[in-house]
Chains A and B, each alone.
Chain A
């Protein structure tokens, strides 16, 4: 296949070879643009408008860079096949057409030295690429399906169809279309599921562009679903600690043998939700009960782990509530709150240790947490003691004031009755 591409390139006459630079590109744009933008046919005139924003145009590569022909000539002479004009390329040829430049490291170095040059190679390993080559499947994605044709923008451009926020929709344009995907027999609910996931929420709501979208798990140009036995590696690109623990756990050994897809077995794949404590144990929303029942050793371990984490969380909340109640009443508790934050570390550590499927691992974390919450609760108790001190002080001072008021009232009466009788007495 690569040989074919090479031959095709070699056969192309001068006009179709790689352009030599921006100056020639600007001139090339002139003649094609001049005719095509005046045409009535929408299909022939719209590329001119959209190409203005294209990254290739910006770099000085014009119409002839891809379509061939002679941009200095006018009229039909410009579109002479003898000068390399290929018109609208066939679907099957598109990867080779793009790859003429994008797979040439020496050439790409002139425009974008850090850009990779193996996209076409990767693409040929993907499901899309293989179906295109083997069956000339008209429905599979080629370069222009995702990157668009004449308004290609770099992925960092928010308007690009392959900007991280746009990738899911771009893939979903085909993969969520049940009519289009009917012959393949694969689900079309991935986009819908993904948009309910915590990964999408991180990206769309919290604006964390590092969150995964389709290409982060499935690959970019070499797109394929992860194999069952290496789902963990995919998730582990970010969730390293969990993956390491999981691989050493009983589940990590057994799942690949059983053909269970690792992380996705409990956390799902496209609609990954925020993992709360309710996933652990044998409760209603728990995932452990899918395989383990209450009598099994696995079930017992799950319940035990859940109980440890729950009690630490309850302890933490009660210590925190105690300290904050004291704080609201104006008592100094910053040292206590500071120390309590380390218990949050323990809680996070315990929830991570769950992936080792070992009660001992979880207990090691929760023990640390319990000692911290106990100390914090003691501080909270002392802080509330301060509150009691204030109330006591208040009672004492108000008592004194009331006694003084009574004394004054009596004094007033005494003075006025004595002055009254002084006036009345002879």
Chain B
């Protein structure tokens, strides 16, 4: 590769300059592309682990009904009591982990797997579940329902 400077072919130098230019450009793109995509916020703009906006409106939840929703990675159940109040609990039964449901005929939460019953405060009132359901805080913002942890 040791060549006389004036004898070094211009074509080789031009090729090298082209190579450098192109690879530098490629490097810049492969660095800027992830950075730009990163800065653009994703569709779910906040972490869903501490509070979640439900994908259905308050109107759609009739009294004496319940609906399952996704809270982070866990199931939750939203209940509108017969008197019209909204309550939310973790929907994982404390017995063996089945997903609970709302029973309009009983007026409280029930687990189909082994007949566990939970009252409208999440407390385990009958059947095998040894502990109450986790209670979530429900806030209504206009038409939206926001469920969060804690009070």
Contact = CB atoms under 8 A, between A and B. Distances in A.
Contact of B23 (A334, A338, A403, A414): A403
Nearest to B12: A414
B30 A345 contact: no
Describe B's contact surface by its main secondary structure.
loop
B113 interface: yes
Nearest to A210: B130
Contact of B27 (A238, A400, A406, A421): A400
Contacts of B115: 240-241
Given A400-B23, A400-B27, A414-B13, A349 B130 contact: no
A239 B113 CA distance: 10
B74 A414 contact: no
Interface in A377-426: 393, 396-397, 400-401, 403-404, 406-408, 410-411, 413-414, 417-422, 425
B19 A338 contact: no
Contacts of B113: 241, 345, 348-349, 352
A93 interface: no
Contact of B19 (A240, A334, A403, A413): A403
Contacts of A406: 19
B5 A421 contact: yes
Contacts of B73: 334, 337-338
Given A208-B130, A349-B112, A417-B5, A344 B97 contact: yes
A257 interface: no
Nearest to A403: B23
A342 interface: yes
A422 B5 contact: yes
Interface residues of A, number: 38
A103 interface: no
Contacts of B149: none
Given A348-B96, A397-B30, A408 B3 contact: no
Interface residues of B, number: 35
Interface string B26-39: 11001000000000
Contacts of B24: 404
- State the main secondary structure of chain A at its contact with B: helix
A335 B73 CA distance: 7
Contacts of B23: 400-401, 403-404, 407
A341 interface: yes
B16 A404 contact: no
Contacts of A352: 113-114
23 contacts: A210-B130, A240-B114, A240-B127, A334-B48, A334-B72, A334-B73, A341-B97, A341-B99, A344-B98, A345-B98, A345-B112, A345-B113, A348-B96, A400-B26, A403-B26, A404-B24, A404-B27, A406-B19, A419-B5, A420-B5, A421-B6, A425-B5, A425-B6
Interface of B: 1-6, 8, 12-13, 16, 19-20, 23-24, 26-27, 30, 48, 70, 72-75, 92, 96-99, 112-115, 127-128, 130
Interface of A: 208, 210, 238-241, 334-335, 337-338, 341-342, 344-345, 348-349, 352, 393, 396-397, 400-401, 403-404, 406-408, 410-411, 413-414, 417-422, 425
Given A240-B114, A345-B112, 10 more contacts: A341-B74, A342-B99, A344-B97, A349-B113, A400-B30, A403-B26, A404-B26, A404-B27, A417-B2, A417-B5
